[in-house]
């Protein structure tokens, strides 16, 4: 997960775009150790998952502002909007016709440990007014700010081009897909809910309402094969699609052709969803056969060759081939509990000392960072004074 944050920092601090690092700054962290400090904050509060950071972009009109001025505006925006809450790394890029600034900040506050939360309307209420105020202060045109969390408008169904959308066909596809993955009727209903349908049951029949619709649809009205008993039978027998044969149908020989499809690997979201289904027992693992088994045996040849030896060693630990029951394991654990309690106090003392040392180390780094920021700001102020004197 930290790789995304590292890639973003590497991009916005590119020497070719920032005058060899002269147009790079930081807020509540050090430029050289921004990534390490952001990750340390996440570890401190135990928030290493989900969103790692946010990315703002301030764009200026063509040939309207110097890179140094854009850098000053960006610095003032960061100080005013984030205050003492979030660690930020910002940079101004002058490698394009339009000078623009990138702002990358940690999703977790280093001071409170709370996560940044962007609500709908914050752009108009809080962010845009600050940008406009700074642009007016420097005599610039009012600029826009792009936010990485901005929601995209959903593409609507165009009746004039695509015709009237028919839910029956889509429901059939979703029902067949859920039946193929379900291991019980209740699990089938749960999979349909995950697809966005609202479900209710009445008199042993299932009713569902697609997203955006007002009325419920009886499942048996979609197809007579979607009764509760029929779905249960298909799930128990592992039947993916039922074929209704006519009574007086004349047998005939047909030519079969295998349909080859290009393999498309699953996305990260699909992998996470399937893994969750496996862990919860909603999907059953299939044993390897044929070429897949040969490939697995070849890749794990060393591990499989050690299995008989490990099995013999485990059996040698048991007396006369005796099997260990859960009660025996429980008795063994209770016998070891007293030994564990005796060393618990020593472990607690060691952990306290380590925590104390970590706090001292963190305070030391924090002090060094503040001193470096003060020195950097002092140097910038001197450089600005020299430039103004040269212009005069």
Question: pLDDT tens, 107-125?
Answer: 999 888 888 887 777 777 8
Residue 88's pLDDT band, with cuts at 50, 70 and 90, is very high
pLDDT of residue 144 exceeding 50, the answer is: yes
pLDDT of residue 90 exceeding 90, the answer is: yes
Average model confidence (pLDDT) for the chain?
78
Are 305 and 232 members of one domain? Answer: no
Residue 106 within a domain: yes
Percent of the chain predicted with pLDDT > 90 = 7
Percent of the chain predicted with pLDDT > 70 = 79
Predicted TM-score of the model (pTM): 0.39
Residue 392 within a domain: no
List the domain range (segments joined by +) for residue 328: 299-364
Are 178 and 142 members of one domain? Answer: no
Residue 80 within a domain: yes
Residue 380 within a domain: no
What is d(CA 47, CA 72) in angstroms, rounded to the nearest whole number? 32
Are 185 and 82 members of one domain? Answer: no
What is d(CA 345, CA 340) in angstroms, rounded to the nearest whole number? 10
- Which CATH number do you get for residue 16? 3.30.930.30
292-303 pLDDT, tens digit per residue, is 777 777 787 877
pLDDT of residue 170 exceeding 70, the answer is: yes
Residue 153's pLDDT band, with cuts at 50, 70 and 90, is very low
Last residue of a domain, one of 208, 237, 266: 237
Q: Where is average pLDDT lowest: 44-53, 63-72, 246-255, 302-311?
A: 246-255
183-213 pLDDT, tens digit per residue, is 888 888 888 887 778 888 888 889 988 866 7
- Mean pLDDT for the stretch of residues 157-175: 64
CB 115 within 8 A of CB 64: no
Are 80 and 202 members of one domain? Answer: no
Residue 246 within a domain: no
Into how many domains does the chain fold?
3
CB 104 within 8 A of CB 55: yes
Residue 104 within a domain: yes
Q: Give ∠ CA 288-266-241 in degrees, rounded to 5.
A: 65
Are 221 and 312 members of one domain? Answer: no
Are 214 and 178 members of one domain? Answer: yes
Are 82 and 13 members of one domain? Answer: yes
Residue 375 within a domain: no
Are 304 and 353 members of one domain? Answer: yes
What is the pLDDT, as a whole number, of residue 154? 42
Last residue of a domain, one of 237, 265, 290: 237
Describe the strand order of the beta sheet including 217-218 as a list of residue ranges. Answer: 198-202, 205-209, 217-218
Are 224 and 112 members of one domain? Answer: no
Are 58 and 131 members of one domain? Answer: yes
User: What are the Cα distances from residue 8, in Å, to 11, 53, 54, 316?
Assistant: 5, 9, 10, 55
CB 200 within 8 A of CB 207: yes
300-322 pLDDT, tens digit per residue, is 787 778 878 877 777 676 655 56
CA atoms within 13 A on the CB side of 358: 10
225-255 pLDDT, tens digit per residue, is 888 888 888 888 876 554 444 444 455 555 5
CB atoms within 10 A of CB 105: 25
Residue 224's pLDDT band, with cuts at 50, 70 and 90, is confident
Are 106 and 73 members of one domain? Answer: yes
Are 50 and 108 members of one domain? Answer: yes
CB 28 within 8 A of CB 86: yes
Residue 353 within a domain: yes
């Amino acid at each position: 997960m930290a790789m995304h944050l590292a890639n973003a920092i590497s991009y916005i601090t590119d020497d070719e775009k920032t005058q060899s690092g002269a147009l790079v700054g930081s807020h509540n962290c050090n430029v050289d150790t921004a990534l390490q400090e952001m990750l340390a904050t996440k570890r401190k509060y135990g928030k290493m998952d989900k969103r790692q950071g946010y990315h703002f972009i301030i764009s200026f009109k063509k040939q309207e502002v110097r890179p140094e001025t854009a850098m000053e505006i960006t610095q003032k925006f960061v100080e005013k909007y984030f205050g003492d809450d979030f660690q930020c790394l910002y940079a101004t890029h002058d490698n394009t016709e339009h000078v623009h600034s990138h702002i990358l900040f940690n999703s977790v506050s280093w001071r409170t440990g709370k996560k940044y939360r962007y609500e709908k309307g914050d752009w108009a209420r809080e962010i845009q007014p600050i940008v406009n105020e700074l642009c007016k202060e420097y005599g610039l045109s009012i600029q826009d700010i792009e936010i990485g969390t901005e929601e995209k408008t959903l593409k609507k169904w165009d009746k004039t081009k695509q015709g009237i959308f028919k839910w029956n066909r889509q429901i059939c596809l979703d029902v067949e897909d859920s039946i193929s993955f379900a291991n019980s009727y209740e699990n089938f209903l749960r999979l349909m809910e995950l697809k966005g349908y609202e479900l209710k049951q009445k008199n042993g029949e299932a009713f569902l309402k697609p997203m955006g619709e007002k009325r419920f649809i009886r499942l048996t009205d979609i197809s007579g094969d979607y009764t509760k008993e029929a779905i249960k039978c298909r799930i128990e027998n592992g039947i993916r699609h039922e074929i209704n044969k006519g009574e007086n149908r004349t047998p005939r020989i047909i030519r079969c052709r295998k349909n080859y499809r290009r393999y498309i690997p699953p996305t990260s979201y699909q992998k996470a969803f399937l893994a969750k289904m496996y862990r919860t027992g909603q999907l059953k693992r299939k044993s390897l056969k044929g070429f897949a088994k040969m490939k697995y045996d070849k890749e794990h040849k060393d591990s499989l060759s050690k299995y008989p030896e490990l099995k013999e060693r485990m059996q040698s630990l048991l007396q006369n081939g005796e099997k260990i029951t859960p009660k025996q394991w429980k008795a063994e654990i209770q016998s070891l509990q007293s030994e564990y309690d005796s060393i618990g106090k020593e472990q607690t003392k060691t952990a306290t000392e380590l925590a104390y040392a970590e706090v001292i180390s963190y305070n030391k780094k924090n002090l060094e960072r503040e001193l470096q920021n003060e020195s950097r700001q002092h140097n910038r102020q001197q450089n600005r004074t020299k430039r103004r004197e040269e212009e005069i």
